[in-house]
Structure 1
């Protein structure tokens, strides 16, 4: 391994309390601990090495091996994350996220635990492995505060929806533009023995569904917003720094009086103050009064991280 890179062994050792407490999917090493060069995610005995600076293949392999030894992993996959990765065409994804490990044994699927809850992780599947571990405290909040009716937008593999169901919510609707990830979410439900009809997994554009639900007069006690920072879709280009206010307005329109909106944004370029202003603008646009009642941070495996903003808004 390049001796200029931070040694993963002492960094990974700091996470020992997490698996001991029933969490086996987490960030073992964060970029704030490596000068922004790399991060290591762990799911069971599989590792996902996230590279934010270019390394040659020999250096990648050596770093992956060092991470495997530091965290006791059977195999390590790589995700190459240049700044322009989110703009690259899908044809580049095989280079950015190879489906096979660069070190050790393959683990196409791993069932890992978060606070005792099982999730299906696919370490070689695209740039995301199936669970965003920085949102673990937000999922714990949802499970602890789950009301009767929950709408989980940009659901991905439905981790927030499952958390609400495990917390006792009577109705949970998960909305995503990908049938593939919704099916993955249904597998996560099944791992916890949670039954849900297919009608709780809504395929399609989130904004379209928000409009449809509003027209139907549906109202939810909790609406969860976890959009990407950037996306291309039928309605054009989505940019969180420009468009989050409109999303908040649409969410407020389907939030019951006395209900709450859990608003998340993973975008290092938008600070907490700007995010709060965007949310307030959206509430005003919807004609709703609301208060910011709580702010959550990523877990202890993301030291000094500022990229993720999580706000709880209570609406009158």
Structure 2
């Protein structure tokens, strides 16, 4: 396929010369030259001087990803082979850890090829493709995984449609099909994974270190509230860590059987815990009305959420959600404030925290903070890629 030259606007040149990997639509002068996703593209300046090489693939604000600053490097099976094997080697300690059998193997631009990720679940590999463009290279990636000695099977999720929009289409690709559920371990705790069940397979791997810290340091003897609880992962770790009781709240009906399954897999009597299907925003009002208080509250909302009456955006509404959380947290209690919203940084997130406590007339202390774990590799040139921000906050008397 012929390589297409794209001229970068002068005001973006510095950014791309420093290694910025996402090819922004607004950075390109002649974007109409792009015809077919998967095309190899060369970024050049006004004088046709080479900057970088990448591919065309529609994803969010981008129209592709930079792959190399070497003009002579070919984007072929050898290129993908080198990048993937380097990424796998980087995760060596995870492969050898018997207590953790689920982790990220390839993290898009953090490992040198934006547009897809690969997760490992006890011998099974799950590829997430985010554009039609990167999907053109699927055979390179699948062939590499098929030849790994520990690969039992491969699954994929195509998160795009013909127009490049996000969808959730998944399928089994190769090898033997995984049992349902597939039981994996995270720091010795069991999780049930369903590789063929839409976008979310049962646990968010990027919160591994936070869950471990809750279990090992913060849960013992505490009354714990886990909001936006999904399959109850934080609740399981809190219960194993000796929590007096956990309460898991999520709007989705499936959260009850999923959370029960996780408690049962770890030998915990789910009937001693509370699992509630309710809009979290409504639950906060209920808890305040009933004067319920919790020693440890986990606040990990999606970046965007909507119910019949409420629309939530982390960038706009996190501060107010945190104020509701402060209302139902005991004095000297802990709030684990978390967000995966990539549109603001840790400094701004801490600004939300400061403003919330200020408006509530309360004092606080930041005890710990977390970003993405080591297997979710990021690069300094693409700060948006390091999206996870978690702060452990102590509510002062």
Matched-pair contact (CA < 8 Å) for 2:305–2:313: yes
What is the alpha-carbon distance in structure 2 between the residues aligned to residue 149 and residue 217 of structure 1? 14
Q: Deviations over 1:57-112 (max 9, x none)?
A: 663244223234347222222223459x9x86xxxx4xx332x3123322242100
Q: Which residue of 1 aligns with 2:132?
A: 54
Displacement after TM superposition at 1:287 (Å): 3.1
Spell out the pairing of 1:97-176 with structure 2 (5 A cutoff): 97-98=169-170, 100-107=171-178, 108-144=180-216, 145-147=218-220, 148-176=222-250
Q: Which residue of 2 aligns with 1:270?
A: 344
Displacement after TM superposition at 1:124 (Å): 1.6
Please give the TM-score of this superposition, normalised by the length of structure 1: 0.90
Displacement after TM superposition at 1:303 (Å): 2.3
What is the alpha-carbon distance in structure 2 between the residues aligned to residue 130 and residue 71 of structure 1? 26
Q: Which residue of 2 aligns with 1:212?
A: 286
Matched-pair contact (CA < 8 Å) for 1:23–1:115: yes
Spell out the pairing of 1:1-316 with structure 2 (5 A cutoff): 2-5=77-80, 7-21=83-97, 22-31=99-108, 32-55=110-133, 59-70=137-148, 72-81=150-159, 93=167, 96-98=168-170, 100-107=171-178, 108-144=180-216, 145-147=218-220, 148-197=222-271, 200-304=274-378, 306-316=386-396
Which segment drifts farther, 235-244 or 133-142? Answer: 235-244
Long gaps (5+) in structure 2? 1-75, 379-384
Larger fraction in helix: 1
Please give the TM-score of this superposition, normalised by the length of structure 2: 0.72
Displacement after TM superposition at 1:7 (Å): 3.5
What is the alpha-carbon distance in structure 1 between the residues aligned to residue 140 and residue 286 of structure 2? 52
What is the alpha-carbon distance in structure 2 between the residues aligned to residue 262 and residue 65 of structure 1? 41
Q: Deviations over 1:213-243 (max 9, x none)?
A: 1111111111001110112212332111001
SS at match of 2:183: strand
Q: Deviations over 1:150-181 (max 9, x none)?
A: 00000011010000000000110000011213
Matched-pair contact (CA < 8 Å) for 1:36–1:52: no
Long gaps (5+) in structure 1? none
For CA contacts below 8 A with separation 6 or more, give which structure has more relative contact order.
Answer: 1
Displacement after TM superposition at 1:274 (Å): 1.0
Displacement after TM superposition at 1:55 (Å): 3.9
SS at match of 2:172: coil
Specify whether residues 80 and 205 from structure 1 end up closer, same or farther in structure 2 by C-alpha distance, changes over 3 A only.
same
Larger radius of gyration: 2
SS at match of 1:218: coil
Specify whether residues 68 and 217 from structure 1 end up closer, same or farther in structure 2 by C-alpha distance, changes over 3 A only.
farther
What is the alpha-carbon distance in structure 1 between the residues aligned to residue 111 and residue 368 of structure 2? 27
Aligned residues: 307
Displacement after TM superposition at 1:137 (Å): 0.5
Displacement after TM superposition at 1:301 (Å): 0.6
What is the alpha-carbon distance in structure 1 between the residues aligned to residue 326 and residue 375 of structure 2? 32
Matched-pair contact (CA < 8 Å) for 1:120–1:187: yes
Displacement after TM superposition at 1:313 (Å): 0.8
